[in-house]
Structure 1
């Protein structure tokens, strides 16, 4: 039980920051491009309480953690965006969608800097005693933050709407092709579920995550 509580403390902070910052980025870019909906609803905030999805932010990560799953995943409530209010049409929609994964990439890079700094302090012999009580959890937290943000980035860039990658694709493709991709949205999560069940999901995402993880870690 003590180990579970420790793990929750180590993993909860980077998980919450990753999913909250992802949604805030969507809302912030949408506001800059003409849609203040997220701001008006109080969603451009780092306060996790306004973004928590009971299933995606609490139950799913907790279940994966307790069952010692090989990965940890979660999500926050999507920030509402009225795409018809954006200045720039479909290209603006693509920028709003891309903002979330790019934010996770930046968080992964920042976490990697913390990770490397802690490794440097360990090399100086500061891994024991009082320093160790602080640095050891920080080391695990930074490492998890890198991996989780990279997974969140890769998952959301999967090119099927309503995931961010699908919206980016819809915003960049010629109108006729974009319309065909947009029609997949009602089947999007079913398609994702098939990829997860068959294991194809891992084959597609693992190379992306491993590539950036090797660079950062």
Structure 2
């Protein structure tokens, strides 16, 4: 049942993430994403056949203990950026940052929804209460989902944002070799995310970042 809350929130959050990359790239001189029709909330151009549909479906239906999905990366041409080395880092960072902002928006909407709809009530089984609790659950789940997206995309494994940040720091030839990892990076990513120490560290970081969001909710409710 939780996936019914997660999937629409995840789809929206991933789209915001990708649009943020393209929007900032455009502001910094690169119109590639705009020209490719990627600055849109229409989900179709952002869907990746394997990362958005096939892999998530396999993980859900096999009862996997972890969930992994991604959208089609927004095309960015660093050569068009005014300061390619610096701006490529900024364009990469803005994606995870946008997810933290969406998480903040979810926290605020969760609080507003509690004031308007009332707190969740498991004893009330009316259709209206069920619908209200669904809205509350979607907003609250949006917080850890977006924190997870931010952390996940900061991993320095191609083609994630963290790899672009690292590639911009590495010396020229090493940076070029690193960027060419390509599809193999996805296979590495699947293996890495199944490692218990990585999952423990990821969960700890996610829990730590949840603290200020929960603190904000407690203050406002």
TM-score of the two chains, using structure 1 as the length reference? 0.82
Matched, 1:48 2:43: yes
- Sort the Cα spacing of 1:179 and 1:119 in 2 relative to 1 into closer, same or farther, 3 A: farther
Counterpart residue number, 1:33: 28
Counterpart residue number, 2:18: 23
Alignment of 1:129-168 (within 5 A): 129=126, 131-168=128-165
Matched, 1:88 2:110: no
d(CA) in 2 for partners of 1:166 and 1:182? Answer: 11
The unaligned stretches of length 5 or more in structure 1 are none
Counterpart residue number, 2:178: 184
Counterpart residue number, 1:204: 201
SS at match of 1:42: coil
The unaligned stretches of length 5 or more in structure 2 are 215-221
Tell me, yes or no, if the aligned pair for 1:127 and 1:136 is still in contact at 8 Å.
no
CA deviation after TM superposition for structure 1 residue 166, in Å: 2.0
- The superposition leaves residues 86-113 of structure 1 with CA deviations (integer Å, 9 ceiling, x where unpaired) of 1112110001111110111111111112
Tell me, yes or no, if the aligned pair for 1:90 and 1:170 is still in contact at 8 Å.
no
SS at match of 1:47: coil
- Sort the Cα spacing of 1:51 and 1:82 in 2 relative to 1 into closer, same or farther, 3 A: same
Query: Please, which of 115, 118, 124 is the counterpart of residue 122 of structure 1?
Result: 118
> How many aligned residue pairs are there?
209
- The superposition leaves residues 15-63 of structure 1 with CA deviations (integer Å, 9 ceiling, x where unpaired) of 1101111111111111111110111111110100111112222233333
Tell me, yes or no, if the aligned pair for 2:110 and 2:136 is still in contact at 8 Å.
yes
- Sort the Cα spacing of 1:163 and 1:8 in 2 relative to 1 into closer, same or farther, 3 A: closer
SS at match of 1:10: helix
Tell me, yes or no, if the aligned pair for 1:35 and 1:86 is still in contact at 8 Å.
yes
CA deviation after TM superposition for structure 1 residue 204, in Å: 3.2
CA deviation after TM superposition for structure 1 residue 14, in Å: 0.6
- Sort the Cα spacing of 1:34 and 1:64 in 2 relative to 1 into closer, same or farther, 3 A: same
